[in-house]
Amino acid sequence: MTNKLPIGIVIDDPGLCAIIVDKGRLYGQERGFSEAGPMDEEAYFWANWLCGNEESEPTLECIGSLAFTVNASMAIAVTGPAVKVVINGEECSSWKTHAVVPADKVVISADCPTAKMYVALGGKWLLKHVMGSVCTVMREGIGGLHGNGKPLVTGDTIPIRVGSIESKEVPAWLIPAYDSMKPIDVIPGYQVEEFLPLARRRFFSADYKVTSDINRMGYRLQGPAVSSKISNMRSEGINFGAIQFPSDGQPIIMLRDRQTLGGYPKIGCVAPYDIPRLVQTPVDGVVCFQERAADDARTNWLLARSKRVRYLTESL
Amino acid sequence: MKLFKHVRKIEHAGIDGMIVYFSGDPLLANQRVQQYLLAITTAQPKWIRSVVPAYDSLLVCFDCFRVDSHFVYRYLAELAVETTMHEESSHHQIPVWYSAPQTDDFEQIKNHTGLEREEIIDLHTTHTFQVFAVGFAPGFAYMGELPDELICPRLATPRKKVPQGAVAIAERQTAIYPFSSPGGWNLLGLCPWYHNLNDPGDLPEFAVGDHVTFFAITQEQFEEIASDK
């Protein structure tokens, strides 16, 4: 079927893992489908903006490196922390629009082997939606290029109806401060009252290390053990960024491909504006957390959003 | 947060989520979950992003660009819910090939319950169960509650691979594994609906509140239904 469609790019080397993501599934969670979506929502958003795409257009989310050959004249953009973009052997900037033409060779890579890089292609991706989204969920075997949840492989072609090209650049002050050492905001909630005051204080004052046990489902951290008074509880809905503690007391932060229900006690949720920085923290990188009331967190989120919106309307 | 009718606890679940825990015994609390779910999905306010029902709780996620948690709290507290459930839920009649060779845990169930194979099948097929929650994986429906006699614990060591369509019990619950996966439940049989099913979009749809009864089929009937799909 795909060979009749206009081809945007051909994957030469998918690197460690390259998948197709979009904004994720807004429905289906009540039936057990993961929300999915981009791990780093900021990088995803700006990649699409640079290509003049709709906000919900798919992008590639890749780890390690990615090499592809261009098959159409179109805009491309690459975002993520410290990403190197090489087009036909020449180094180019990330967070910037590039006009490419057929036969161009593009290679991207990141300093950090677990960094998530986003590649947007200017145009409409011609893919089959599953539950309102093309987002790849490997665990569920849904979404992606062939609808079966498989990551991209060498030789895969992305069908796309190309759009117009407009050169843009994301100003430095709108690129997430990935290296910031500021504590990550957590909105206390769920079973927070069931954690002993000492355990709670420990969690919000200690450093936690990002382990190598990290994926789109969740990030396991390592640090001082934190336990709650709960021995067993009923499974309940898990929101994005929820921090749960299995009996070993080591936190797991639940992310895009998290299961919909779970029964471990949770101390609260990471504020969405701090998730990009969290998920881009390298293995063995250290993070720490601070409590932030829901109202304050929402205010921070709205401020960040209005900063973005103001820039977008002014740059029109 | 101040409590309102039917609710024993309400908590933040991030900047864009509130989780409501309902009071009452499991059946009643689960009914409340459905009542609130129905009321919200019927009203469909623009600010709702998703609603995730579970055993005795409802996670309400909202668009925090439009509203804040105070607004959502007030909305939930003032929400008019139908306390008499009119039966719009479906009733599923599920065929099971009991004691299919790859799903035969009757011996260990007997060790816990003292029940013979026929008695176990009899108890599993004569009760009508209710879907309490759907989740963990697409199409995985937690059904209950099993009669007291049939209660047996999860396996001490979970299996690495439970076959697709396996009908299983654990504690007070019964479920069907929609896809082959690891699992720690005791297996009773196979449901032909799931045979060679690859697309999660084709999964039988279970909704919280649906009713379920199982009935026994033979291997021949299993093969007939499985090839008929």
How close B74 gets to chain A, by Cα (Å)?
Answer: 15
Q: Give B30-75 as a DSSP string.
A: HHHHHHHHHHHHHH--TTEEEEEE-SSEEEEEE-TTT--HHHHHHH
**Residue A2 pLDDT more than 50?**
no
- Tracing tokens 């309490």 back to the chain, one arrives at B132
Q: Token pair for residue A126?
A: 């011609």
A312 exposed, middle or buried (CB, 10 Å; 0-12, 13-18, 19+)?
exposed
From A187, which residue of chain B is nearest by alpha-carbon distance? Answer: B14
Task: Pick the residue of A31, A131, A192, A273 with the most B CBs within 10 A to test the interface with B by mutation.
Answer: A31
**How many Å apart are CA A258 and CA A256, to the nearest integer?**
6
**Residue A235 pLDDT more than 60?**
yes
In a domain, residue B178? The reply is yes
Type of residue found at A147: G
pLDDT tier at A28 (50, 70, 90 boundaries)? confident
pLDDT tier at A70 (50, 70, 90 boundaries)? very high
Q: Where are the domains of chain A?
A: 2-174, 184-311
- Which H or E run includes B228? helix B219-228
Do B71 and B191 contact (CB within 8 A), yes or no?
A: no
Length of chain A counted residue by residue: 316
Model confidence over A183-230: pLDDT tens digits? Answer: 999 999 999 999 999 999 999 999 999 999 999 999 999 999 998 888
A172 exposed, middle or buried (CB, 10 Å; 0-12, 13-18, 19+)?
exposed
pLDDT tier at A16 (50, 70, 90 boundaries)? very high
Q: Do A268 and B12 touch (CB under 8 A)?
A: yes
- When CB atoms are compared, the residue of A30, A189, A302 closest to B52 is A30
Q: Are B109 and B57 contained in the same domain?
A: no
The last residue of one of the domains, among B54, B78, B102, is: B78
- When CB atoms are compared, the residue of A32, A294, A305 closest to B137 is A32
- When CB atoms are compared, the residue of A30, A140, A301 closest to B15 is A301
Q: Are B69 and B158 contained in the same domain?
A: no
Q: What is the pLDDT of residue A1?
A: 45
Average pLDDT for A112-120: 96
Pairwise pLDDT comparison (B171 vs A78), residue with the higher score: A78
Contacts of B149 (CB under 8 A, 6+ apart): B113, B115, B123
- The DSSP 8-state label assigned to residue A206 in this structure reads S
Q: Do B135 and A260 touch (CB under 8 A)?
A: yes
The last residue of one of the domains, among B27, B57, B78, is: B78
In a domain, residue B84? The reply is no
**Residue B128 pLDDT more than 70?**
yes
A313 exposed, middle or buried (CB, 10 Å; 0-12, 13-18, 19+)?
exposed
Do B86 and B60 contact (CB within 8 A), yes or no?
A: no
Q: Are B115 and B139 contained in the same domain?
A: yes
Closest CA to B118 of B106, B105, B101, B100: B106
Q: Do B52 and A237 touch (CB under 8 A)?
A: yes
- When CB atoms are compared, the residue of A27, A237, A271 closest to B57 is A237
Q: Are B11 and B37 contained in the same domain?
A: yes
Q: Are B109 and B207 contained in the same domain?
A: yes
pLDDT tier at A3 (50, 70, 90 boundaries)? low
Q: Under CATH, to which class is A184-311 assigned?
A: mainly beta
Tell me which chain A residues have a C-beta less than 8 angstroms from the C-beta of B200.
33, 130, 140-142
pLDDT tier at B86 (50, 70, 90 boundaries)? low
Q: Do A268 and B207 touch (CB under 8 A)?
A: no
A98 exposed, middle or buried (CB, 10 Å; 0-12, 13-18, 19+)?
buried
Q: Are B109 and B202 contained in the same domain?
A: yes
Number of structural domains in chain B: 2
Q: Are B139 and B38 contained in the same domain?
A: no
Pairwise pLDDT comparison (B136 vs A142), residue with the higher score: A142
Q: Are B136 and B53 contained in the same domain?
A: no
From A193, which residue of chain B is nearest by alpha-carbon distance? Answer: B11
A96 exposed, middle or buried (CB, 10 Å; 0-12, 13-18, 19+)?
middle
Q: What is the pLDDT of residue A136?
A: 96
Q: What is the pLDDT of residue A17?
A: 97
Q: Are B133 and B224 contained in the same domain?
A: yes
The last residue of one of the domains, among B49, B78, B107, is: B78
B131: domain range? 91-228
Average pLDDT score, chain B:
90
Predicted-complex ipTM score: 0.94
In a domain, residue B54? The reply is yes
Contacts of B40 (CB under 8 A, 6+ apart): B48, B51, B60, B79
Tell me which chain A residues have a C-beta less than 8 angstroms from the C-beta of B25.
none
**Residue B155 pLDDT more than 50?**
yes
Q: Are B29 and B126 contained in the same domain?
A: no
In a domain, residue B1? The reply is no
Type of residue found at A142: I
Give φ, ψ of A314 to 5 degrees: -70, -30
Model confidence over A258-285: pLDDT tens digits? Answer: 989 888 899 999 999 999 999 999 999 9
Percentage, residues of chain B above pLDDT 90: 66
How close B116 gets to chain A, by Cα (Å)?
Answer: 30
